[in-house]
Structure 1
Amino acid sequence: MTTKLEALEIALRNALGERASITVALGEVTLVLKAADYLEAMQTLRDDAALHFEQLIDLCGVDYQSYGEGTWDGLRFAAVSHLMSVKHNWRLRVRVFAPDDAMPLVASVTGIWRTANWFEREAFDLYGILFDGHNDLRRLLTDYGFIGHPFRKDFPVSGYVEMRYDPEQKRVIYQPVTIEPRENVPRVIREEHYGMK
């Protein structure tokens, strides 16, 4: 008798064949797709009667730049989706890596699942991943004038610009970051007799 995860793995292999790399670990199935096969495979995951993943639960960006304490030697950016089949009571993680680190681009799945709209906008805003075919790819969480993508591993902690209200101009202005990096030393170390009376 096959378990539920084994049945899902068999159904995925039958539907996708050699286009997908399938791993099962910790009670979860992860499917890794090539960017060229991504859109067609996602359509198959939704429409194949044996799979029937009718819901996209989540889609997020991932930056693997320093993954595994710098031991990662693969592509840098990925879009990771979580799918659910209510009919079969299955969940699936799908990962697709953008083939170009300088301009991360993968296909949009908004034509398959409309819920991908805001998820893809968020991944673009925070990681700079572009979704080919998305008809409204603009910032979602940061300001329209924001420079950079704040969840990238190489984004500076203090950012590039700061905003403040200028009472003379009576408006919000942007200016380069003026925070000087400093090392904070706790009072326990800094003051010789701290806490003693």
Structure 2
Amino acid sequence: MTTHLEQLQNALGTALGDRVTTTVALGEITLVVAAADYYGVMQTLRDDATLGFDTMIDLCGVDYSTYGDGAWDGLRFAAVTHLLSVKHNWRVRVRVFAPDDDMPVLASIVPLWRAANWYEREAFDVMGILFEGHNDLRRILTDYGFIGHPFRKDFPVSGYVEMRYDPEQKRVIYQPVTIEPRENVPRVIREENYGK
């Protein structure tokens, strides 16, 4: 007798073939798909009756530049999507890597799941991943004048600019960051007879 997870694996293998790489860990299935096949695979996951992934739960951008303490040598940016089939009570994770680290571009899945709209805008805003075919790709969390993408691993903790209210100009102005970068090392005091 096959388990629920094995049934899902078999259905995914039949529907998607060699367009994906499948891994199973901790009772969860992750599909890794090439950027060129991303939209087609997502459409199959939604439209194939044996799969029926009708709900997109989450989509986020990931920066793998320092993954595994810098041992990672693959592509830098990925979009990770979680899908749910209400009918079959199945969940699957789909990971797609952007083929260009300097200009990460992936296909938008908003035409398949309208819920992806704000998730893709967030991934663009904080990671800089562009979604081709998205009809309203603009910042959603940061300010319109914000420079850079704050969740990238190479983004400075203090940012590039700061804003403050200038009473002479009677408006908010942007200026370069005035905080000097420093490394805080906590001072540790050890007492020989502590707790005795």
Equivalent residue, structure 2, for 1:113: 113
CA distance in 1, matches of 2:121, 2:187: 44
Equivalent residue, structure 1, for 2:92: 92
1:128 aligns with 2:124: no
1:64 aligns with 2:73: no
Equivalent residue, structure 1, for 2:177: 177
Equivalent residue, structure 2, for 1:195: none
Deviation of 1:182 after TM superposition, in Å, equals 3.0
1:157 aligns with 2:135: no
Deviation of 1:37 after TM superposition, in Å, equals 0.3
CA distance in 2, matches of 1:46, 1:68: 33
CA distance in 1, matches of 2:185, 2:31: 46
- Identical aligned residues as a percent: 78
CA distance in 1, matches of 2:159, 2:168: 25
Deviation of 1:181 after TM superposition, in Å, equals 2.0
When the two chains are superposed, the root-mean-square deviation of aligned CA atoms in Å is 1.1
What is the one-letter code of the residue matched to 2:51?
A: L
**Structure 1 segments unaligned to the other structure (5+ residues):** 190-197
CA distance in 2, matches of 1:81, 1:39: 12
Q: Report the secondary structure of 2:35's partner residue.
A: coil
What is the one-letter code of the residue matched to 2:127?
A: Y
Deviation of 1:186 after TM superposition, in Å, equals 5.0
Q: Report the secondary structure of 1:37's partner residue.
A: helix
Deviation of 1:184 after TM superposition, in Å, equals 3.9
CA distance in 2, matches of 1:30, 1:99: 19
* CA offsets 1:127-162 (integer angstroms, 9 cap, x no match): 000000000000000001100000000001100000
Change (3 A) 1:6 1:128: same
Equivalent residue, structure 2, for 1:4: 4
TM-score normalised by L of structure 2:
0.94
What is the one-letter code of the residue matched to 1:28?
A: E
* CA offsets 1:82-116 (integer angstroms, 9 cap, x no match): 00000000000000000000000000000000000
TM-score normalised by L of structure 1:
0.94
Equivalent residue, structure 1, for 2:194: none
Equivalent residue, structure 2, for 1:193: none
CA distance in 1, matches of 2:61, 2:49: 28
1:22 aligns with 2:40: no
CA distance in 2, matches of 1:188, 1:51: 56
**Structure 2 segments unaligned to the other structure (5+ residues):** 190-196
What is the one-letter code of the residue matched to 2:40?
A: E
CA distance in 2, matches of 1:90, 1:59: 17
